[in-house]
């Protein structure tokens, strides 16, 4: 995700795309495309893990089969898919915006450490929240955008109720949009040197009014 934008900066593809469509749409399209690739990888390794489960001892397999999430297995599967999607889009939008500022492989390598630290910090915060459901740590993890998908997956496993998940998914989708807009504006103003103080929908409206 970080390296993709840097590569397209070097071969000038991103400048052609930015001239044809809003830059926010370019960022969203690249994010969804990378998410599709991630789904293929997850599907492959999920299939492998499912087949490996058949090799477990009967007692261990029975113990795993007896696990039951608080919201029910079918609903937990749907929520897990939703939170996986949101986790990828949230972290991906942040990393895409960071990668858009890098122009060389060396800069990308320098970004690897803080990105890894950020990911592990979010996993650690969500793990602490899952271990103490209903605590202030869990509340912080569920509200903070980058840890919210992981923490809410743990919430679904330990606590019943569906309305918090609807609110959490809407909250996370809002931050995906915010991160994409911020990343696109930083790229436009810092890299393309064509920044505008107005968001793209206002610029689009102005262009339409000028045409009419």
| Residues 149 and 164: beta-carbon distance below 8 Å | no
Instruction: Provide the whole-model pTM.
Output: 0.74
Is residue 205 very low, low, confident or very high in pLDDT (cuts 50, 70, 90)? low
The number of folded domains in the chain is 1
Domain that holds residue 203: 2-211
Buried-state track 155-180, b at ≥16 Cβ within 10 A, e below 16 = bbbbeeeeeebeebbeebeebbeebb
pLDDT band at 199 (very low <50, low <70, confident <90, very high): very low
The pLDDT-based confidence of 83 (bands split at 50, 70, 90) is very high
| Mean pLDDT computed over every residue of the chain | 78
Q: What is the pLDDT of residues 22-72, one digit of tens each?
A: 778 888 888 888 888 888 888 888 787 777 666 666 666 555 556 677 787
pLDDT for position 115: 80
- Between 148-158 and 105-131, two packed helices, what is the crossing angle to 10 degrees? 20
pLDDT tens readout for residues 146-162 = 999 999 988 888 888 78
pLDDT for res 28? 85
The pLDDT tens digits for 95-118 are: 887 777 766 667 777 777 888 888
Which residue stretches of the chain are H helix? Answer: 2-10, 13-20, 23-53, 58-65, 73-101, 105-131, 136-143, 148-158, 163-190, 200-211
Residue 22 token pair: 């809003």
Q: In terms of C-beta density within 10 A (0-12 exposed, 13-18 middle, 19 or more buried), how is residue 127 classed?
A: middle
- The contacts of residue 163 (CB under 8 Å, 6+ apart) are none
Q: What is the pLDDT of residues 158-196, one digit of tens each?
A: 888 788 899 999 999 999 999 988 888 877 776 666 544
Cα 203–Cα 206–Cα 208 angle in degrees, nearest 5: 110
């Amino acid at each position: 995700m970080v390296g993709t934008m840097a590569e397209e900066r070097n071969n000038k593809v991103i400048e052609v795309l930015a001239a044809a469509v809003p830059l926010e749409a370019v960022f969203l399209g690249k994010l969804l495309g990378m998410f599709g690739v991630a789904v293929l990888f997850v599907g492959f390794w999920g299939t492998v893990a499912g087949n490996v489960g058949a090799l477990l001892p009967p007692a261990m397999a029975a113990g795993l089969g007896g696990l039951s999430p608080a919201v029910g297995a079918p609903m937990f599967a749907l929520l897990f898919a939703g939170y996986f999607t949101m986790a990828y889009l949230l972290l991906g939008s942040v990393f895409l915006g960071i990668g858009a500022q890098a122009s060389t492989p060396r800069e990308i390598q320098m970004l690897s450490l803080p990105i890894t630290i950020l990911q592990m910090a979010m996993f650690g915060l969500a793990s602490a929240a899952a271990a103490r459901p209903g605590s202030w740590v869990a509340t912080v993890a569920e509200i903070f955008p980058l840890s919210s998908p992981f923490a809410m997956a743990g919430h679904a496993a330990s606590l019943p109720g569906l309305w918090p998940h609807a609110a959490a998914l809407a909250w996370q989708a809002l931050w995906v949009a915010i991160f994409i807009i911020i990343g696109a504006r930083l790229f436009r103003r810092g890299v393309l040197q064509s920044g505008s103080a107005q968001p793209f929908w206002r610029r689009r409206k102005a262009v339409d009014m000028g045409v009419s």
